[in-house]
Chain A
Amino acid sequence: MKIVAALAALAIALALQTTLGSLVIRGTAALDLVLIVVVYLALITGPITGLLLGSVAGLVQDSLSSGIIGIGGLAKTIVGFVAGVLGSQFIVAAPLSRFVVFLLATVVHATVFMGLYTLLDLRQFDTPYAAVLSQAVGNAFLGVVGAQLIELLPGLRDRRKARRMSRH
């Protein structure tokens, strides 16, 4: 069931990415919603699930893009695994620590992705530092806000239900 929910979350992220992609195409600070979902799921499920989800998400994303299929998949696989290890070995439930994880995950993803493309001489990225940094900050911010919302909303509903029960 959890796997189905995770895959559904990835599908929604991918759909949103392709729908909203045109809105941020001009700027350099494009958000990678799929990466955010992969990192979050890896943090709460562990390295193996993170690795598998990263792999699937990256491959699907690659197949929908015009690049080489597998480069994005590899980058997300590594990021999913590392995020899963961090989530299982350290307490990364606080917003600040999560922010750092999302930030580093984006930097690692961009490094692997761009590094492979440059290494294979398939693409040129001239001084992408500002773009990567802004993307990392955007991803981290959105990741933290999204994670907080996902984790707070069910509790909020339960608390409201409990309050209603206590009144009766």
Chain B
Amino acid sequence: MLAGAIVLHVILISAQVNTTAGIPFIQVVTFGAFSELQRGTMKSVDGVRGLWSGYVALRDVQSENESLKRELQTLQVRLQEERAQAQRSENLSQLLDLRERAGVETVAAEIIAGPASVEFRDMTIDKGSADGVAPDMAVISPAGVVGRVILSSPRAARVQMLIDRNAAAGAMIERTRAQGLVVGQGATLRMDYVSGTAEIEQGDLIVTSGIDKIYPKGFVIGTVEAIDRGTGTYHAITVRPSVDFSRLEEVLVVTTPPLATTAADIAVEATAIAAKQLQQEMARNVSPANATPRSPPPARTRVPASTGSPTNRTPRGPGE
């Protein structure tokens, strides 16, 4: 009883005693105790709220999350479609650019199948004889020469790639104009019959010479990768193809045959030009005062259509 009374008194007295901060001690104790209660209550409420928002209310969030995921997937697919479309546009733009530069009649075609047998390097394109595609037409891409048509049906054609072991093309080193023959090696190319005295350097650009009457003159074939000078009459040159055959999607089929470039044709053209000049000279000698203006050169003496390609205008470095 006494103890109880003492406690009550102490409480009462203490209620009137200020702390050093000037606030009644009882208030401090009550506030302290209550704040702890508040804190506990708040924690419980927070816990319940967290439980609610973190688990029970997540049903909606989950569905929203799934919806957002679906939306994200749709957007990702659309982005990929856009990217593919952009890439395709770029490819087509390059093809269009090549068509304009090349100055030859071409038909754009899409590759629809690869080689049926592992030993051959051929592919099928979606344009055939109905589109004017015929055997022995050259197939090119913005990167360079792809190959030639070996078979055509009305709606498709088979193209032998230049890297096929049975493929070959007349070629020359762009810098020195040394001629030779490029043959396929399965994955790379080899240039044969280049004179042992010809000047060749690693990285030299190899272009078509047009002598085979299939590939227009001046299109890029590849770059010199290795030279085996040996002791023979000819160099053995390994050529890295400029075209990445594993990434080809669209190509151009050259529907106009290249202009005559064989030695015999050149001789015939030279004779024709000489004859014409001789006739002009004779006419001038007969009546000098009646000199007629020089007629334009004959059509066949014009620069071959392939000269439109930038590759054989001026010697270029390998990186270009």
Contacts and interface: CB of A to CB of B under 8 A. Distances in A.
B79 interface: no
A66 B158 contact: yes
B94 to A, nearest CB: 19
Contacts, number: 84
A66 B166 contact: yes
Nearest to B163: A25
A22 B122 CA distance: 9
A25 B245 contact: yes
A66 B246 contact: no
A113 B118 CA distance: 11
A22 B165 contact: no
Given A18-B113, A20-B114, A66-B160, A113 B119 contact: yes
A64 B117 contact: yes
A26 B240 CA distance: 12
Interface in A9-58: 14, 17-28, 30-32, 34
Contact of A72 (B117, B164, B185, B187): B117
A126 B166 CA distance: 13
A123 interface: yes
B114 A124 contact: no
Given A66-B120, A124-B165, A22 B158 contact: no
Contacts of A27: 187
A22 B246 contact: yes
Given A66-B160, A66-B164, A66-B166, A31 B113 contact: no
Contact of B246 (A19, A23, A60): A23
B168 to A, nearest CB: 12
A65 interface: yes
Contact of A17 (B116, B122, B158, B160): B116
A26 B186 CA distance: 8
A113 B166 CA distance: 15
A77 interface: no
Nearest to A63: B116
A26 B187 contact: yes
B143 interface: no
Contact of B117 (A24, A26, A65): A65
B214 to A, nearest CB: 15
Interface in B176-219: 185-187
A114 B165 CA distance: 12
B114 A14 contact: no
A31 B158 contact: no
B261 to A, nearest CB: 26
Given A123-B165, A124-B165, A135 B117 contact: no
A146 interface: no
Interface in B150-182: 150-151, 158, 160, 164-166
A25 B114 contact: yes
Given A28-B186, A67-B119, A19 B114 contact: yes
A32 B244 CA distance: 22
A125 interface: yes
Contact of A21 (B116, B158, B244): B116
A72 B286 CA distance: 72
A70 B121 CA distance: 18
Contacts of B187: 25-28
Given A22-B123, A28-B186, A61 B248 contact: no
A32 B120 contact: no
A72 to B, nearest CB: 6
Contacts of A65: 115-117, 119-120, 122
6 contacts: A31-B118, A61-B116, A64-B117, A65-B122, A125-B165, A131-B186
Interface of B: 111, 113-124, 150-151, 158, 160, 164-166, 185-187, 244-246, 248
Interface of A: 14, 17-28, 30-32, 34, 60-62, 64-67, 72, 113-114, 122-126, 131, 135
User: What are the 7 A-B residue pairs with the smallest beta carbon separation, nearest first?
Assistant: A21-B114, A64-B116, A22-B114, A30-B118, A18-B113, A65-B117, A65-B120
